[in-house]
Amino acid sequence: MVVGYNISPLPFYDSVAEQFENHPCAFGVNYPLLCGLNQPLPFLFYTNDNPDESRITSVSLIQVGVQSIDVTTDFVGNGLVIYDADVQGEQKSFIRFAPNQNYHYTFPAIGLYYFVIGVYDREGDTTNYYYSEKFCVTDNLRDAIEITYTSPVNLNTSFGDIPFNHIAVGTFSFKVWLNALIGKPDYTFEEVETVRTGYSFLERCTSKKTYQFTVIVPEYLCDALRLIKLCPDVVIEHKGKIYTPISFDMNASWEEQGDLASLKASFDTDNVITAVGGYQS
């Protein structure tokens, strides 16, 4: 795995020991990363596998404490691919799952799950396994904030491009559900005025409404959500309303225990109102 970067709301690791519940400050408590009953989370992560000598040989869905399910045929060929990460002078791969629009996998029941993906390296005659973070499958996402974000061009990193638009494997969007409420908006005014003989004359006034929400998240989600600000194509849905942000900002304040952060996010939509030309008396 490529260390130091997480760009996906559903991260992957080299072992289950790296899952959130095993962090020293988490004390064995899982974070409820939301996932729909028939809406698997898209994901993207990078590995050190040789892209020319590797292929995905197995995908297991672990229903924690219940069963292990072989879902290889459900995901390989339906959006799960391994491909060259195109890092100059290095052999690295990305593994990406972009759910097929014509196929929707349905989880066997609500509950706690994680994926195990096996990648066979012909060159070394070995199989490397990658373990996802645990996620909570639910049949009720009505009250959650759903954020979908993508970019028409790839974003650049030191370990290769983030392939939102890949010539070989197509386009890609991240999606995440957050247990939060959009509310308590800010209202700001920008004024341009002229002062003459002790009087102020308002030449232009602009009013803007900024939406806000606060959510408790672990570090891996803070890492992933920062991409929203870098993506020009973002859609936020909540309680039947659809927002198309033109800007997005976030600030994380860490809780005392250190495993979770209170993330305050704000976004603007095209709701600016402007009065131009001053007031007529």
Rounded Cα–Cα distance for residues 249 and 31 (Å) = 23
pLDDT of residue 277: 67
Instruction: Note the pTM of the prediction, 2 decimals.
Output: 0.91
The answer to whether residue 6 sits within a structural domain is no
Closest CA to 131 of 47, 53, 218, 55: 47
Asked whether the beta carbons of 12 and 1 are under 8 A apart, the reply is yes
Q: What is the 3-state secondary structure (H, E, C) of 26-58?
A: CCCCCCCCEEECCECCCEEEEECCCCCCEEEEE
pLDDT of residue 151: 96
pLDDT of residue 1: 63
The answer to whether residue 110 sits within a structural domain is yes
Instruction: Specify the 3-state DSSP secondary structure of 145.
Output: strand
pLDDT of residue 230: 96
pLDDT of residue 49: 85
The answer to whether residue 7 sits within a structural domain is no
The answer to whether residue 2 sits within a structural domain is no
The answer to whether residue 21 sits within a structural domain is yes
Rg (CA), the chain: 22
Residue 47 β-bridge partners: 93
Query: Count of domains in the chain?
Result: 1
Determine the structural domain holding residue 48 and report its residue range: 12-276
The answer to whether residue 143 sits within a structural domain is yes
The answer to whether residue 5 sits within a structural domain is no
pLDDT of residue 258: 79
The answer to whether residue 69 sits within a structural domain is yes
Q: What is the mean pLDDT for each group of 10 consecutive residues in the chain (281 residues)?
A: 78 95 85 95 90 90 96 93 77 87 89 97 88 97 97 86 86 96 93 82 88 96 96 97 96 90 96 75 48
